[in-house]
Amino acid sequence: MDKVFIKDLEVETIIGIFGWEREVKQKVRISMEMSFDISMAGKTDKIDDALDYKKIGKSVVKLVSSSSFFLVEKMAEEIAKLVLKDKKIAELRLCVEKPGALRGSKSVGVEIFRCQK
């Protein structure tokens, strides 16, 4: 299956379990790889036959920026549910990172893989 991806989408949001994290917006980084058959778009060169990654990106930004999750695990699950509402996407690999969450590391986070049911 072909893949359409969005890498390192940065969004500011409330995320975390500590008191200060509930008061200050932090940056999260989101990357996703969506299984989608691009062959029709490759033949027709028409946007209607392609996966609208801009629309997906904007909907993810809207969800995340207006949320206040305690855990990146919950954030990842909600993003996955949102993205997989598009039934043309067969599978989703999603990575959610919190840069600077652990001193000495570039980032920490989770990666999940979800399929259409």
Q: Which residues are catalytic?
A: 98
Q: Which residue has the tokens 């299956």?
A: 1
Instruction: Work out the burial of residue 15: count CB atoms within 10 Å of its CB; fewer than 13 is exposed, 13-18 middle, 19 or more buried.
Output: buried
The CA distance from 96 to 100, in Å, is: 13
